[in-house]
């Protein structure tokens, strides 16, 4: 794709996603390359790199060039790197970590800007991750629905049942002793991206419980519509992992869903979360 001097950018789908070629993330990256990776991230919402051989220290170095790594509230980091957590499903486990459409930790008062996932071990088949464009989710709504949503505030909670189940195994084995029982945060249903200025739908089936000043029962019909609308196939892309693959996605305007279709096999990833700002 034109407009990049130091990297090659290949779009993955019509809605979002691009693979980046011509860069070794284990090396010290020139400022121009860092700026172009950052621009591709904002343009495509999720970017992917293949065949990256990164130690945890090198992974952290790259993450720091993109933002400020922060700790995850429920799971401890790996030894020596508190901001790097293991996202894993073992051979005997049935639930996969975060296995539901969501934007990472939307139940925090200041949710993350982005997340990075690096594949360490992958199953022989399955284990893909889907991503969905929440700019398009908002833009494809009717004018009347946009007017309705623009004034609404969503109540997001970490204890929503379906999402809680997807982290049970990891909390048992790697849980943090200082984790709260529940985190709750209120965010606008439509947020404006602080860097691009575009509006994005900001509710998700994993964490959004209801609208502020409404009951769950009153909120449910509209939320059910939005949850289905925002992940329609034409708004998504799908990524097939290989060892050394790295994904970097924008939690402010994209959702993701790790597909749980590899029972009996092991999948191990390292994740770093980057600090964000308060949604507006």
The count of residues in the chain is: 280
Between CA 183 and CA 32 the distance in angstroms is 39
Beta-carbon contacts of 214 under 8 Å, excluding residues fewer than 6 positions away, are none
104 is catalytic: yes
Which tokens is 207 given?
């964490």
Catalytic residue among 44, 104, 210, 267: 104
Count of beta carbons in the 10 Å neighbourhood of residue 18: 21
CA distances from 22 to 4, 101, 141, 237 (A): 11, 31, 38, 22
Between CA 70 and CA 63 the distance in angstroms is 10
Give Rg (Cα) of the chain.
18
CB 83 within 8 A of CB 256: no
Which tokens is 233 given?
């196939």
Catalytic residue among 44, 167, 252, 271: 271
256 is catalytic: yes
Which tokens is 212 given?
């502020």
193 is catalytic: no
Per-position b or e across 206-244, b if 16+ CB within 10 A of its CB = bbbbbbeeeeeeebeebbeebbeebbeeebbbebebeeb
Catalytic residue among 44, 102, 191, 270: 102
261 is catalytic: no
Environment class of 184 (CB within 10 Å of its CB; exposed 0-12, middle 13-18, buried 19+): middle
Catalytic residue among 193, 256, 267, 270: 256
Helix (H, G, I), strand (E, B) or coil at 235: helix
Q: Looking at the annotation, which residues are catalytic? A: 102, 104, 256, 271
């Amino acid at each position: 794709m034109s407009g990049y001097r130091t990297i090659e950018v290949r779009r993955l789908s019509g809605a979002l996603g691009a693979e980046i070629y011509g860069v070794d993330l284990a090396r010290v990256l020139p400022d121009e390359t860092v700026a172009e990776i950052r621009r591709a991230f904002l343009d495509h919402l999720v970017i992917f790199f293949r065949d990256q051989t990164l130690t945890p220290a090198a992974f952290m170095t790259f993450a720091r060039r993109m933002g400020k790594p922060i700790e995850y509230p429920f799971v401890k980091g790996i030894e020596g790197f508190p901001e790097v957590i293991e996202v894993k499903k073992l051979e005997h486990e049935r639930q996969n970590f975060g296995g539901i459409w969501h934007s990472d930790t939307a139940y925090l008062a200041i949710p993350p800007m982005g997340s990075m996932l690096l594949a360490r071990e992958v199953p022989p088949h399955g284990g893909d991750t889907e991503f969905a464009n929440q700019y398009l989710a908002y833009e494809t709504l009717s004018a009347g629905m946009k007017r309705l949503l623009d004034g609404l505030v969503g109540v997001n909670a970490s204890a929503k049942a379906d999402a809680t189940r997807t982290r049970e195994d990891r909390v048992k084995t790697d849980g943090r002793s200082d984790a709260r029982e529940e985190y709750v945060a209120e965010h606008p249903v439509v947020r404006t991206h602080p860097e691009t200025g575009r509006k994005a739908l900001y509710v998700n089936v994993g964490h959004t419980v209801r609208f502020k000043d409404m009951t769950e029962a009153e909120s449910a019909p509209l939320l059910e519509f939005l949850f289905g609308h925002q992940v329609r196939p034409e708004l998504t892309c799908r990524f097939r992992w290989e060892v050394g693959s790295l994904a970097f996605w924008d939690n402010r305007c994209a959702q993701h869903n790790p597909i749980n279709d590899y029972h009996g096999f092991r999948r191990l990833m390292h994740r770093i979360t980057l600090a964000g700002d308060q949604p507006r």
